[in-house]
Chain A
Amino acid sequence: MRAPDPLGREGAPRVALDGGVARFSGCWTIGRVGGVERELARLEWPRDRPLILDASRVTALDTAGAWLLESTRRALARSRHEVSVAGLRPDHEALVAMIRARVADRAESVRARSKGALARVGELAARSIRQLLGILGFVGESAFAATAVLRHPRRLRWRPVLHNIESAGFRALPITGLLSFLMGVVIAYQGATQLERYGANIFVADLVGLAMLRELSPLLTAIIVAGRSGSAYAAQIGTMKVTEEIDALRTVGIAPFDLLVLPKLIALTIALPLLVVYADALAVMGGMMMAKTSLGVGYADFLDRFEHAIDLPDYLVGIGKAPVFAAIIAVVGCYQGFQVSGDAESVGRQTTVSVVQSIFLVIVADAAFSVAFSYLGI
């Protein structure tokens, strides 16, 4: 194989098996190595002696060639041959070593993927606990910053607070109003078919009032705001993190927490209860309209009954939940924003997570409220 190739294809990769020694020669590079791969597959390797892959006459080697060499060696070793590679030039040696490390890496990651169910459950639990601890830490930080501001209210940046009240509260009026109105209509309509059967038409006011004011209206509003504003918080902070604006703020001398988190937290705890008040009103209107059209209960009768059916505590319970929901949404949204790392893809991921988590936590909190209220008898 050393003699110049009569066809003039100098440097074509070759392999010649001579006893236990396979002599490799020529340019083992990506454009040319394909043929020799087939040739290698056809070779009959002797079983009775140790094999040596002699690469001393390889004139050029790239990663494709090195991979072929290495995978040949691995295949032979797997089929219980005693095999060694000899005669590599130092630079080729380095290349083969790199390939070997990579192949080992991949084998490792394949092994890592096929973990047992128990390990996966454990990992999930560990991750959830880490998340929870992270959020708790963030809550602590928020509380700390908030108390600092309460002590020195002049330190608070009012302009972003007002700006956030506008974007999270005022701009959410149309959608919140419409959805609450429709919710009132739906509840009244569902109630109407049942109530009509007993001739208890007038109790539609109790139904709509209690259901909406105590439970549905705060919950619905919180879910809308989580989707609208919680996600926006996560996306805004996340994007700023990716573009290094957060770091820029810090170098300019501003604590990102003061500028980005606190105003949002304060603005939302102010805006959400107000939104709930508004949603309550629209929901009752919706119910009233439905009561008139499908049950024949006039507006005056409805409102008269409404006054008797709903006590002030019922109303306040609903509104009282709103600041808690607001805090959950703002904290989760901002926290997930800060969890963004690296690329733009991560912004989308954390934004989704923020919405799912905040809605989940809002409903959990709502359930906790219900349990607590029934225990307290409110």
Chain B
Amino acid sequence: MSIEVRNIHKHFGKFHALQDVNLHVQTGELVALLGPSGSGKTTLLRIIAGLEVADSGTVLFHGEDATDRHVRERQVGFVFQHYALFRHMTVFENVAFGLRVRKGKAKPLEGYIRARVSELLDLVQLGWLADRYPSQLSGGQRQRVALARALAVEPRVLLLDEPFGALDAKVRKELRRWLRRLQDDLRITSVFVTHDQEEALEVADRVVVMNEGKIEQVGAPDDVYDRPASRFVYNFLGDVNLFHGRVHQGQAQLGGLEVEVPEHNGTLDTAAVAFVRPHDVDVARYRSGGPTIEATVRHVKALGPRVRLYLERTEEGAEIEAELSRERFEELALAEGEKVYVSLRKLRVFVEDSLSAA
């Protein structure tokens, strides 16, 4: 089932949490809402679920207006950040609860409930824990129970609010691969909220980057990462170095560095900022042919297979972060305090008017 959100506005007191948000989620798609805290992503998710009411705008499920439909009637499965399992019920009862509470004709037979719950617990690989209570489970297990509970009511849409936010890094990685596989098998339209860009890029079919109540960019993970639409998106999806300068007729002057920027051919003498990812910064001991920046190595930090260098520009003292592979670093054999030449493999220049728009 597809979800469409049109012109949603939401205020909390004076705070404008969502400003004219429009979004379309295709049937069977897994979409990530990505943004810093306070960007309105959870609010948007709760409005889709019907847990929160928008000030204005419409929510459509499968093309039908569902704005005034009650949560109950929207048939959504919701997974909460802190699991929200019912503490006084066993794992089995938690999952069965949504089926048990149905009244009248909709109430399924006990045999069906048992079969359905066991099937779901097997799906989340927790069949052996059916008789335990939530407090006896680990965080990762609890979240899987919560997912099983959400799936029990046969939702047409699955909504996940920072599902892995409270888990440790390793479990989180495991669970997100598992979620991806589950989504591939079940093909339920899913929306999940996260502030972890890695998670969003790894799991989702499409990523929706949000900031200050607005959608900054919607696109496939590669798209969003390689072709960020705005300065914010660039900044948010991974670390970034900034170079301030000016652009004139396709030439960018970035503090001693001159670069061709054909996409800004028509720009006349405008202030600009260049964004460079640390892994697009190359470091050499000697000046090579292309344009380079002189810098001093301030710190060296090894992060597993990568080595991160914190460099200080000789000219203006600004910091540059560079990320090298361990082999490259060993080849260079750099020590703190040494002078190096920095070249930029790939950079993206935003001129002033797009800065103010961002």
Contact = CB atoms under 8 A, between A and B. Distances in A.
A243 interface: yes
A244 B82 contact: yes
Contact of A251 (B76, B81, B102): B76
Contact of B153 (A11, A243, A244, A252): A252
A176 B50 CA distance: 44
B78 A248 contact: yes
A157 to B, nearest CB: 8
Contacts of B50: 250
Contacts of B51: 247, 250-251
B78 A247 contact: yes
A11 B318 CA distance: 12
B72 A247 contact: no
B294 to A, nearest CB: 15
A111 interface: no
B97 A252 contact: yes
B103 A155 contact: yes
Nearest to B273: A90
Interface in B118-157: 149-150, 153
B244 A60 contact: no
Nearest to B52: A247
A59 B49 CA distance: 50
Nearest to B271: A90
A245 B97 CA distance: 13
A103 interface: no
A343 to B, nearest CB: 12
A248 B84 contact: yes
Contacts of A60: 317
Nearest to A239: B87
B185 interface: no
Interface residues of B, number: 30
B78 A253 contact: no
A303 interface: no
Given A60-B317, A90-B244, A91-B242, A252 B98 contact: yes
Given A59-B317, A247-B51, A253 B153 contact: yes
Interface residues of A, number: 18
B65 to A, nearest CB: 20
Nearest to B155: A251
Interface in A222-256: 243-245, 247-248, 250-255
- Max chain B Cβ within 10 angstroms of own Cβ: one of A90, A245, A248: A248
Contacts of B149: 248, 252
Top-9 shortest CB links A-B: A59-B317, A244-B84, A251-B78, A252-B98, A248-B84, A253-B72, A244-B80, A250-B71, A245-B84
Interface of A: 11, 59-60, 89-91, 155, 243-245, 247-248, 250-255
B84 A247 contact: yes
A253 B101 contact: yes
Contacts of B84: 243-245, 247-248
B278 interface: no
B77 interface: yes
Interface string B66-95: 000001100011101111111100000000
Given A247-B80, A252-B149, 15 more contacts: A11-B317, A245-B84, A245-B86, A247-B46, A248-B78, A248-B84, A248-B86, A250-B51, A250-B72, A251-B76, A252-B97, A253-B72, A253-B102, A254-B72, A254-B101
Contact of B82 (A243, A251, A253): A243
A248 B80 contact: yes
- Max chain B Cβ within 10 angstroms of own Cβ: one of A59, A60, A252: A252
A90 B85 CA distance: 49
6 contacts: A91-B242, A243-B82, A244-B80, A247-B80, A248-B78, A252-B101
